[in-house]
């Protein structure tokens, strides 16, 4: 009987190593290749070449166990270990998104200076494409990088109009869309781009002043929303520090659990409503 059990275990181990492991390895290779391709595309869009996609993919193997270990040391809980691993798994993607948003924000800030420089070049007798070349030389990144790509695409045979549409798709903002549409319309109708750029500068300045005023006027409401959102969490943590059994009646009874679910749901609804009321689109 013992020999039969050992034989069955050996067959099971052989099956796992010969069938399942190659399948898992193939799935792992496909996942890693897709992830490297996705990260590489994001890095290319940001003109970031300091780290290779393969190096960044390694973070998906390093960060989850590190955060899981830290969570276990701090909280001594299996749930905390799982949450720590999930946080570590999400951090590389979040970091890339934050970096991309910062780059887009910097590009948006540079739009007004770019329009003024283009207007000066056109007044000096340069063509629009020559003005873009001056823009690449004079402006810092990311504006110089994106406009340099527009020029390279144009030299490869892509029309300037199509290159500008691609730029708008890559770095979409309301101000950039307004600028590109104005350039396209002016090139089709033969309008004076210097006058168009002058009006755009005025419109963008006025729009930014209005947005700053709205942010200032809604600051109090946004701060109230943040404070009211974190107070319950801090209150719960503060009580648990002194009396860990204080909320046991809520966790152990069905009525208490129902009240907790309702409280959390109402809290989330209040946070969403405050965010919606304090956000005004211009």
Do 96 and 35 touch, CB atoms closer than 8 A?
A: no
Q: Tell me the two tokens of residue 172.
A: 């979409």
Give the domain ranges of the chain. 108-210, 218-277
Cα 72 to chain centroid, rounded: 29
CA–CA distance, 282 with 262 (Å, rounded to integer): 35
CB proximity list for 56: less than 8 A, separation 6 or greater: 39, 43, 92, 96
pLDDT tens, position by position, 130-168: 999 999 999 998 999 999 999 999 989 899 899 999 999
Tell me the pLDDT tens digit for each residue of 213-240: 888 877 777 787 788 778 888 888 788 7
* Gap between the terminal Cα atoms of the chain: 79
For the CA atoms of 86, 91, 93, 98, what is the dihedral angle to 10 degrees? 140
Distance from CA of residue 142 to its chain's centroid? 17
Average pLDDT, the chain: 84
More confidently predicted of 192 and 17: 192
Q: Please calculate the CA angle 84-85-90 and round it to the nearest 5 degrees.
A: 95
Q: Which of 2-6, 160-164, 183-187 has the lowest mean pLDDT?
A: 2-6
**CATH architecture, domain defined by 108-210:** Up-down Bundle (1.20)
Mean pLDDT of 84-110: 91
């Amino acid at each position: 009987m013992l020999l039969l059990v050992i034989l069955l275990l050996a067959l099971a181990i052989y099956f796992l190593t010969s069938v399942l492991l190659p399948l898992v390895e193939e799935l792992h290779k496909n996942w890693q290749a897709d992830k490297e391709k996705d990260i590489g595309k994001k890095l290319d869009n940001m003109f970031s070449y300091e780290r290779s996609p393969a190096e960044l993919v390694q973070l998906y193997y390093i960060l989850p166990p590190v955060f899981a270990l830290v969570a276990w040391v701090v909280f001594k809980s299996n749930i905390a270990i799982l949450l720590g691993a999930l946080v570590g798994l999400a951090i590389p993607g979040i970091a890339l998104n934050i970096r991309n948003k910062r780059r887009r924000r910097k590009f948006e800030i540079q739009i007004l200076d770019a329009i003024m420089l283009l207007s000066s070049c056109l007044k000096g007798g340069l063509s629009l494409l020559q003005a873009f070349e001056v823009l690449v030389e004079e402006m810092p990144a990311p504006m110089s990088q994106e406009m340099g790509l527009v020029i390279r695409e144009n030299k490869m045979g892509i029309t300037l109009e199509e290159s500008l549409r691609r730029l708008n798709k890559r770095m979409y903002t309301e101000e950039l869309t307004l600028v590109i549409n104005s350039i396209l319309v002016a090139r089709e109708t033969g309008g004076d781009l210097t006058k168009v750029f002058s009006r755009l500068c005025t419109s963008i300045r006025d729009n930014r002043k209005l947005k700053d005023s709205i942010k200032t006027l809604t600051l109090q409401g946004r701060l109230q929303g943040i404070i009211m959102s974190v107070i319950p969490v801090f209150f719960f943590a503060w009580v648990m520090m002194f009396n860990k059994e204080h909320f046991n009646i809520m966790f152990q009874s069905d009525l208490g659990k129902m009240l907790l679910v309702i409280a959390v749901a109402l809290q989330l609804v209040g946070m969403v409503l405050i965010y919606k009321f304090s956000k005004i689109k211009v």
